Amino acid sequence: MELGPIFRAMLKAKAGYILIALQIAVTMTIMVNAIAIMQEKNDAIARESGMDEANTFAFSSTSFEPDADMRSLVEEDLDTIRNLPGVRSAVASNSYPLRQGGWSEGLQLEPDANSSDSIGSAIYFVDEHGVDSFGATIIDGQNFTPNQVSFKDPESNTWPAYGIVTEALAKELFPEEQTSVVGKTIYLGDNDPINIVAVIDRLQAPWQSWTGVERSMLIPQRRLGTYQTYIVRTEPGYRDELMPQVEELLANSNKGRIIRSMTTMDHVRMRAYLDESAMVTMLTFIVTLLVIITGLGIVGLASFNVSRRTRQIGIRRALGANKFAIMRYFMVENFIVSSVGIATGGILAVLLNILMVNAFGLQPLSWYVIPIAMLVLWLVGQIAVAGPARRASNITPAIATRSG
């Protein structure tokens, strides 16, 4: 290989090469960090809520008549819904995963413990249909029985003595426990004891960006506020036909309330991760454009170099260089520039990533992103330079004797 002379020739006109190397370096910096951000967002988007999302929809009911009898209204609503063909189960609750708004409480192992020791958990108020409606699976213990379910004011502070926790919450509460946590007692707030009757595999809290998103607890209680949220899980394939049907039935059954926010869980997920997926789209767009611009920049510069060196290429051909040798010259030249750019870019990328981790609490980047980005940029460089290099190899050696 003729690395030495190529490199020395490059040093003679270094500014142009330094510029392209810098461009590759900054491209690499952006690319690596954009990929790191995209990875984090994609990981977040990929987390499962625990619900049977494809077959579940939710809506809310707001009663505006003063003195509405909420207990019988909710009871009737649930009866109506559960008796529809195609409905697998339904429950009235306060919220659901990915909804962004919900109820949380601190849980602790001892009563009256210092509040900073407590572990935050989302609270879903449900009846015995809650587990199935939320698409959860009991992995230990027994579901609530109907007579464990109590009825209370929305502002009440009386808690039932039972709860079902997610596996993640159980692990957080009893990190050392090897056997079952069913039957253990935990305390809600300062001194309301709750007996764990079952553990479910997974059910996310309503706030997907909360660090404790996997921690939820089901409470067998119905809060009789004027605002109710219903979650309906259907048999596969029935969701879309049931939604308007349910809306119609409930809206007509009681004129003193409005049915709102009828939405599929798919849509809820889309909305919940809109920011993340928009970010991924924008970054993909930026990175693609960037690689194209850098590629075109390399094409432009290489074309210029080829036409500037037309004469020199002719001389080399006259001195015995074959076409392949000429192509190789430009490919090697590009490889050297790319390598310098990529090496610098690797360092800059890590520095920017450290800055971003500090400024925005981003996850540190995975090591393999750097070699991948290197490979991509090397390839882009070689592809970009291939065209001009081919043109160079077609320059006739007769140039050397003509155009004196």
Partner 1 sequence: MFRYYLRLGLLSIRANPALSALMVAAIAIGIGACMTIVNVRHVMSDNPIEHKNDVLYHVQVDNWSPDEPYEEPDLPPEQLSYLDAKALYDAKRAFRQVVSFKSDRVVQPAGEDARPFQETVRATTADFFAMFDVPFAFGSGWDEAADQSEERVVVLASGLNEELFGGKNSVGELLRMNDETYRIVGVLAPWTPVPKFYDVNNNPFEEPERLFLPFSLAISGEFGSNGNTSCWKTVGDGGYEAFLASECIWMQMWVELEDATQRQEYEQFLNAYVSEQKLLGRFPREMNNRLSTPAEWLQNRDVVDDHVSMLLSLAVLFLVVCLLNTIGLLLAKVMRRTNDTSLRRALGANKSALFSQYIIEAGLIGMAGGLLGIGLTWLGLQGIENLYAEYEFIKNLVRMDWSMIFLAVALAIASALGAALYPTWRACSISPATTLRIQ
Partner 2 sequence: MLKMKSVSKTYRTDMVETHALREFSLTVGEGEFVSVTGPSGSGKTTFLNIAGMLEELTSGTYELDGKDISSLNDRERSKVRNEKIGFIFQSFNLIPELDVFDNVDVPLRYRGFNAGERRRRIEKCLDMVGLMSRIKHYPGQLSGGQQQRVAIARALAGEPRFLLADEPTGNLDTNMAESVLDLLSEINTSGTTIIMVTHELTLADRAKRNIFVRDGQVSDGPPELHFAAAANA
Chain contacts with partner 2 (rule: CB under 8 A): 2, 5, 8-9, 12-13, 311-312, 315-325, 396-398, 400-402, 404
Give the whole-angstrom CA distance, residue 27 versus residue 24: 5
Instruction: Enter the tokens of residue 295.
Output: 């590629």
When the beta carbons of 4 and 101 are compared against partner 2, the nearer one is: 4
Q: Which one of partner 2, partner 1, none interacts with residue 400, CB within 5 to 8 A by kind? A: partner 2
Q: Which one of partner 1, partner 2, none interacts with residue 315, CB within 5 to 8 A by kind? A: partner 2
Give the whole-angstrom CA distance, residue 233 versus residue 54: 9
Q: How many CB atoms lie within 10 A of CB 278?
A: 11
Task: Give yes or no for residue 120 binding partner 1 (CB under 8 A).
Answer: no
How many residues lie near partner 1 (CB under 8 A)?
62
Instruction: Answer yes or no: are the C-beta atoms of 128 and 91 closer than 8 Å.
Output: no
Q: Which one of partner 1, partner 2, none interacts with residue 312, CB within 5 to 8 A by kind? A: partner 2
Q: Which of 236, 237, 284, 308 binds partner 1 (CB under 8 A)?
A: 308
When the beta carbons of 30 and 395 are compared against partner 2, the nearer one is: 395
Q: Which one of partner 1, partner 2, none interacts with residue 297, CB within 5 to 8 A by kind? A: partner 1
Annotate each residue in 248-277 with x if it binds partner 1 (CB under 8 A) or - if it does not, as one string.
----------x-x---------xx--xx-x
Q: Which of 3, 72, 112, 115 binds partner 1 (CB under 8 A)?
A: 115
Residues in the chain: 404
Q: Which one of partner 1, partner 2, none interacts with residue 26, CB within 5 to 8 A by kind? A: partner 1
Q: Which one of partner 1, partner 2, none interacts with residue 294, CB within 5 to 8 A by kind? A: partner 1
Task: Give yes or no for residue 338 binding partner 1 (CB under 8 A).
Answer: no
Q: Which one of partner 1, partner 2, none interacts with residue 322, CB within 5 to 8 A by kind? A: partner 2
Write down the least CB distance from residue 307 to partner 2, Å.
15
Write down the least CB distance from residue 285 to partner 2, Å.
39
Alpha helices, DSSP H, located in 137-219? 167-173
How is 36-95 classified by DSSP, letter by letter? HHHHHHHHHHH---SS-GGGEEEEEEEE-STT--HHHHHHHHHHHHHTSTTEEEEEEES-
Write down the least CB distance from residue 44 to partner 2, Å.
52
One-letter-per-residue 3-state SS of 89-150: EEEEECCCCCCCCCEEEEEECCCCCCHHHCEEEEEEEECCCHHHHCCCCEEEECCCCHHHCE
Cα 398 to Cα 71, 74, 192, distances in angstroms: 97, 93, 96
Q: What SS3 class is residue 188?
A: strand
When the beta carbons of 71 and 271 are compared against partner 1, the nearer one is: 271
How is 302-351 classified by DSSP, letter by letter? HHHHHHHTHHHHHHHHHTT--HHHHHHHHHHHHHHHHHHHHHHHHHHHHH
Annotate each residue in 125-164 with x if it binds partner 1 (CB under 8 A) or - if it does not, as one string.
----------------------------x-xxxx------
Task: Give yes or no for residue 312 binding partner 1 (CB under 8 A).
Answer: no
Cα 293 to Cα 27, 333, 338, distances in angstroms: 10, 19, 15
- For the chain, give the longest Cα–Cα distance: 104
Beta bridge partner(s), residue 87: 234
For residue 371, the one-letter residue type is P
Instruction: Enter the tokens of residue 207.
Output: 């706030």
Residues contributing to the site for partner 1 (CB under 8 A) = 13, 15-16, 19-20, 22-23, 26-27, 29-30, 33-34, 37, 62, 64-66, 114-116, 153, 155-158, 189-190, 258, 260, 270-271, 274-275, 277-279, 281-283, 285-286, 289-290, 293-294, 296-297, 300-301, 303-305, 307-308, 352, 356, 359-362, 404
